[in-house]
Chain A
């Protein structure tokens, strides 16, 4: 019987009622009396020197409050980068300035030049059309390899080149890896592109800044995955506002997928301009604006080489990647192609020697940063593609080749600096073979063939590092922030609880799943627990939600705080029942004295904490409220095996995904329904990357895919039903819940499965195709077949 409450149950989501009735409160739903609207005039060229900006006519137009240019921000801090990567020589990366409004130069299409504040958005937009901007156009730096050639045009005049860093990992392994590849029995080489994507949460970004004249307090309402991080970055590094005078609120947020982690210029502008204009200032991105101002994802060009011995055992792996940073360093951009990518290159395999080289490059494009998976999809894609190619080159079964190289003993220290705590890769592969009905493939292939369609099957594994945390480790790796999480548990007098968490829910359903954990620990109904998140004014300092970390790190903080609550409540119960607190047991919301029939209800004890008439006041303070900050000692390592079956139309090259199965090991599961949903969504984004999505710049740096007319978003009729399973569970050993995280797995594990399946279909049809770059559009597949 499935559980009906607590950990492991799937109660209906409590947030759904407001979302289903139009009662959600997203940032754009917030309108403050007297607010003005800002419209950003953005660069329509990729690279140029600003000769002049004439706002005189625009300033006189109806409703215009004030027009700001880069000059207004010249004395104010730029947007900071939260991670410093050190290069192969031990030098810090090149770090350019990132002004709030472009100053002297524009560096990508969409770079904001002017901000027009007016009574209405229409007036602001009308006035922006009257601004005359004179730009001396410069050659656009778009191609990464050309960008780092001698004499290339520089995106930033004050840097020595367009190379942000040249990173080697593990540098000490380099010579041994080179030697192993040179002397290998077989080496498989693959050059590939990990296509640039746009995260595209359905809610565009919004910011509303407010400043109170009477107190000098600022408030920013924003579409963020981590309001505390925005408060710290914007307050301390951009605007110089101390945290106690700045409140950041991220109410209901309509999806994030990474792109709402970062601190953006528009947030800083609205906050600052609210004081300058003495009015609240609101900005809502149009979708076209989102395409040219939200941080993009992926965009790697990679060469990977896998060496094997005569028995098919992997002996060495070497990769060289060019990673696009875009025009400026977004908040966590430098960490993505390095510490979230290089450390995962061992995958699920015991390859003894690995060397990863990454060259991060500035170009005249929108900044690139973390997008669902962030670095781990790039690692998984190249590794699982090269293994598939190696299997085909050496006549081995792709599944068996993987199996014979699986890591089977844990904990396992990889040659790329991480230690996997648990996993069972054979178990997830066994489960995959079962749920994907791989045995039935031949029959389905024959049926496809009868229709004239080419059918293929692709399998791959993945591993990811989630629960992004250990602060001391990430500090050594260049993070300029801690990565703990926090929770305050406040018990009310009558027994209900409020959990204030630094995690942030923007679709993950924390308001439902977090109470399952807390209520289970105490033995009370879940509806006695309320979750508060998203507001720096009433949550403890926390790092927010990304990297599949909310339950592993935020949930663990919540467990620790609840443990403190229970310990104190037991002491109160012991006093009232005149027993030793060692003898007090808490079960089903009832305190009992072991071996006696004495008992007290949860509510009696919580009431005593706030009405302390019979209370050990000499030993304990009244009240029942505890805070915990949790900082784990390792990442978590979810893993799994994915299978995709496609049909390829030989006449058109059109690929359809016919079946998709995912067997994941997420450790313990709190809410299976929510976990299924997270995997579904991740798979759809992965299939989107593999078949549909691509962000395209032309050679002049024009973003040619800046609307939903041009950027192919996955639609309902592009997707099959998914078969997902997470019954293989090797609990994480170092967090109290034994959870690993599930938010990114689907997006990490699915792209190679799709591409492997298409290559399989074509090879079975006798085509000499070993690789096609994503997205596998009909044109690309058709061309590859010819």
Chain B
């Protein structure tokens, strides 16, 4: 066991971890931040996406120890300071971009990372970027719509028919 310290959602945290403890398990089990989900064991599904030092990372691909000293943001840190939904979160609600909610934290975190790098992505760019995030409920239609809306763009013509 070794000690690891990092900042999670702006708060300094530390804990004792095994070398093999994954960041996602540290967040869920040690920190009680259960919004970050585990949907697979091959780093494909993206339900565990968090931000580490500003970059989107699948928290199942990283050991907790590797996040030593890092600034980590999880879905729990995405709402506005007053507790209201952030822009992307609100767009997901407005456009029914979630159903069971299990993939949603990862989707929101990926969408946030996308919009940071590319504030006005096209539908095609959104779909390409979300390649590493599975959703089994929505068929992605309303997720794409929500991200377009969060970036201040209209829906493409085909969907308006």
A interface with B by C-beta (< 8 Å): 12-13, 15-26, 28-29, 31, 122, 200-204, 252-255, 257, 284, 286-288, 435, 437, 506-509, 659, 673-674, 676-677, 680-685, 707-709, 713-717, 719-723, 746
Query: What are 10 A-B contacts with C-beta separation under 8 Å?
Result: A23-B35, A201-B100, A201-B136, A254-B39, A257-B136, A287-B42, A680-B141, A716-B130, A717-B124, A717-B131
Would you call A659 and B96 a contact (CB within 8 A)?
Answer: no
How far does the alpha carbon of A257 sit from the alpha carbon of B99 in the complex, in Å?
Answer: 12
8 A Cβ contacts from B19-57 to A: 20, 28-29, 33-42, 44-45, 47
List B contacts of A509 (CB < 8 A).
99
- How far, in Å, is A361 (CB) from chain B's closest CB? 28
Is the C-beta of B75 less than 8 angstroms from some C-beta in chain A? yes
Residue of A nearest to B21 (CB): A122
Decide yes or no whether B127 CB sits under 8 A from chain A. Answer: yes
Q: Would A680 and B134 count as touching, CB distance under 8 A?
A: no
Chain B residues near A284 (CB-CB < 8 A):
38
Interface residue ranges, B against A (CB under 8 Å): 18, 20, 28-29, 33-42, 44-45, 47, 74-76, 78-79, 85, 89, 92-94, 96, 98-105, 108, 123-124, 126-128, 130-131, 133-144, 155-156, 158-159, 161
**Total contacts A to B, CB within 8 angstroms?**
194
Complex CA distance for A19 and B124, rounded to whole angstroms: 26
Task: Give the distance in Å from the alpha carbon of A88 to the alpha carbon of B133 in the complex.
Answer: 47
- C-alpha gap A677/B103 in the complex (Å): 15
B45 close to A287 (CB less than 8 A) = yes
Residues of A within 8 A of B108 (CB): 20
Asked whether B161 lies within 8 Å of A202 as measured between CB atoms, the reply is: no
Q: A21-B75, A507-B99, A721-B123 are in contact. Are A715 and B131 (CB under 8 A)?
A: yes
Residues of chain A lying within 8 A (CB to CB) of residue B42: 287-288, 707-709
Q: Are A202 and B100 in contact (CB under 8 A)?
A: yes
Contact B74 A22 (CB under 8 A): yes
Which residue in chain B gives the minimum CB-CB distance to A203? B102
Whether B99 contacts A677 by the Cβ 8 Å rule is yes
A683 to B102, CA, bound (A): 19
B107 to A: closest C-beta gap in Å: 10
Determine if A506 and B127 form an interchain contact, defined as CB atoms under 8 angstroms apart.
no
Task: Report B96 CB to chain A, min CB distance, Å.
Answer: 5
B98 and A20 contacting across the interface, CB-CB below 8 Å = yes
**How far does the alpha carbon of A509 sit from the alpha carbon of B39 in the complex, in Å?**
21
Of chain A, the residue at the smallest CB distance from B128 is A717
B34 adjacent to A681 (CB under 8 Å): no
Q: Is the CB of A12 within 8 A of B94?
A: yes
Asked if B161 and A255 sit within 8 Å, CB to CB, the answer is no
Q: Is the CB of A16 within 8 A of B139?
A: no
Is A21 in contact with B35, judged by CB distance below 8 angstroms?
Answer: yes
Contact, CB under 8 Å: A508 / B134: no
A256 to chain B minimum Cβ distance, whole angstroms, is 8
The chain B residue sitting closest to A437, CB to CB, is B161
Residues in A neighbouring B102, C-beta threshold 8 A: 24, 26, 201-203, 254-255
Contacts of A15 in B (CB 8 A): 101
Q: B75 contacts A721, CB within 8 Å? A: no
- Bound complex: CA A22 to CA B79 (Å): 10
Do the beta carbons of B76 and A255 come within 8 Å of each other? Answer: no
Contacts of B131 in A (CB 8 A): 715-717
Residue in contact with B101 in the complex, picked from A254, A677, A746, CB distance below 8 Å = A254
Q: Given the known inter-chain contacts A255-B100, A255-B137, A708-B45, please indicate yes or no for A723 contacting B78, CB distance below 8 A.
A: no
Output the least CB separation between A220 and chain B (Å): 19
Whether the pair A20, B96 counts as a contact (CB closer than 8 A) is no
Nearest A residue to B123 by beta-carbon distance?
A: A721
**Cβ–Cβ contact A716 & B133, under 8 A:** yes
Known pairs A17-B85, A509-B99; A287 contacts B141 (CB<8 A): no
The answer to whether A684 and B140 touch across the interface, beta carbons within 8 angstroms, is yes
A22/B34 in contact, CB under 8 A? yes
A204 touches B39 (CB 8 A): yes
CA distance A659 to B156 in the complex (A): 13
The one of B127, B136, B143 in contact with A202, judged by C-beta atoms closer than 8 angstroms, is: B136
Cα distance A437–B40 in the bound complex, in angstroms: 40
Give the 5 A-B residue pairs with the shortest CB-CB distance, closest first.
Answer: A22-B35, A19-B101, A254-B102, A684-B139, A507-B100
Q: Which residues of A contact B144 (CB under 8 A)?
A: 716, 721
B79 surroundings in chain A (CB, below 8 A): 21
Residues of A with C-beta under 8 A to B139: 680-685, 714, 719, 722, 746
Across-interface contacts of B75 in A (CB, < 8 A): 20-22
Given contacts A200-B136, A722-B159, 9 further A-B contacts (CB under 8 A): A22-B74, A254-B100, A255-B102, A681-B99, A681-B137, A685-B139, A713-B44, A715-B130, A721-B155
Residues on the B chain within 8 Å of A708, using CB: 40, 42, 44-45, 134
Find chain B residues with CB under 8 A from A29 CB: 28, 34
Min CB gap B86→A, angstroms:
9
Tell me the bound Cα distance from A713 to B103 in angstroms. 14
Q: A252 with B101: in contact, given A257-B136, A674-B96, A717-B127 (CB under 8 Å)?
A: yes
Partner of B161, one of A435, A674, A746: A435
With A and B bound together, what is the CA distance between A17 and B108 in angstroms?
13
Establish whether residues A202 and B103, one from each chain, have CB atoms under 8 Å apart when the complex forms. Answer: yes
Q: A202-B47, A287-B42, A681-B138 are in contact. Are A719 and B127 (CB under 8 A)?
A: yes
Give bound CA distance, A318 to B94, whole Å. Answer: 48
Q: Is the pair B78, A21 in contact by a Cβ cutoff of 8 Å?
A: yes
Give CA–CA (A682, B108) in the complex, Å: 22
The docked-state distance in angstroms from the alpha carbon of A707 to that of B40 is 8
Instruction: Tell me the bound Cα distance from A122 to B1 in angstroms.
Output: 13
| CB-CB nearest in chain B for A722 | B141
| From B36, B44, B96, B140, contact of A716 by CB (8 A) | B140
Q: How far is the CB of B77 from chain A (nearest CB, A)?
A: 9
Chain A positions within 8 Å of B136 at CB level: 200-202, 255, 257, 681, 685, 713
Whether B93 and A253, one on each chain, are in contact in the complex, defined by CB atoms closer than 8 angstroms, is: no
Known contacts A23-B35, A122-B18, A201-B100: A17-B93 contact under CB 8 Å: yes
In the assembled complex, the CB of A284 is this many whole angstroms from the nearest CB of chain B, namely 8
Inter-chain CA distance A476–B79, complex, in Å, is 54
Contact status B93-A13, CB under 8 Å: yes
B78: A residues at CB distance < 8 A? 20-21
Q: Quick one: which of B40, B92, B135 contacts A16, CB cutoff 8 A?
A: B92
- Report B135 CB to chain A, min CB distance, Å: 7
Please, which residues of chain A bring their CB within 8 A of the CB of B126?
716
Is B134 touching A715 in the complex (CB atoms < 8 A)? yes
Most buried by A among B38, B79, B141: B141
Give A489 to B21 CA distance when docked, in angstroms.
47
Check if B98 sits within 8 Å of A19, measured CB to CB.
yes
Given contacts A20-B93, A202-B134, A717-B131, contact A28 B38 (CB under 8 A): yes
Name the CB-closest residue of A to B145: A721
Q: How far is the CB of B57 from chain A (nearest CB, A)?
A: 16
Among A15, A677, A722, the most chain B Cβ lie within 10 Å of the Cβ of: A677
Bound Cα distance from A24 to B78, whole angstroms: 15
Provide the bound-state CA to CA distance between A685 and B99, in Å.
14
Quick one: given A21-B35, A715-B130, are A202 and B89 in contact (CB under 8 Å)? no
A342 → chain B closest CB, angstroms: 28
Across the interface, do B138 and A21 meet the contact criterion of CB distance under 8 Å?
no
- How far does the alpha carbon of A739 sit from the alpha carbon of B103 in the complex, in Å? 29
Contact assessment for B35 and A24 in the assembled complex, using a CB-CB cutoff below 8 Å? yes
**Chain B residues positioned under 8 Å from A680 (CB to CB):** 138-139, 141-142
Q: Is the CB of A22 within 8 A of B105?
A: yes
Given known pairs A26-B102, A202-B136, A709-B44, the reply for A719 and B85 (CB within 8 Å) is no
Cα–Cα, bound, A203→B134 (Å): 11
- Please name all residues of chain A whose beta carbon is closer than 8 Å to the beta carbon of B130 when the two chains form the complex: 715-717
Q: A10 — nearest CB in chain B belongs to which residue?
A: B96
Q: How far is the CB of A605 from chain B (nearest CB, A)?
A: 34
**Shortest distance from the beta carbon of B38 to any chain A beta carbon, whole Å:** 7
Alpha-carbon distance A334/B20, docked complex (angstroms): 44
When C-beta atoms are compared, the residue in chain A nearest to B47 turns out to be A202
In the complex, A8→B155 CA distance in Å? 23
Which B residues lie within 8 Å of A31 (CB)? 29
Complex: A683 Cα to B141 Cα, angstroms = 10
- Contact at A20–B85, with CB atoms within 8 Å? yes
A719 lies within 8 A of B99 (CB): no
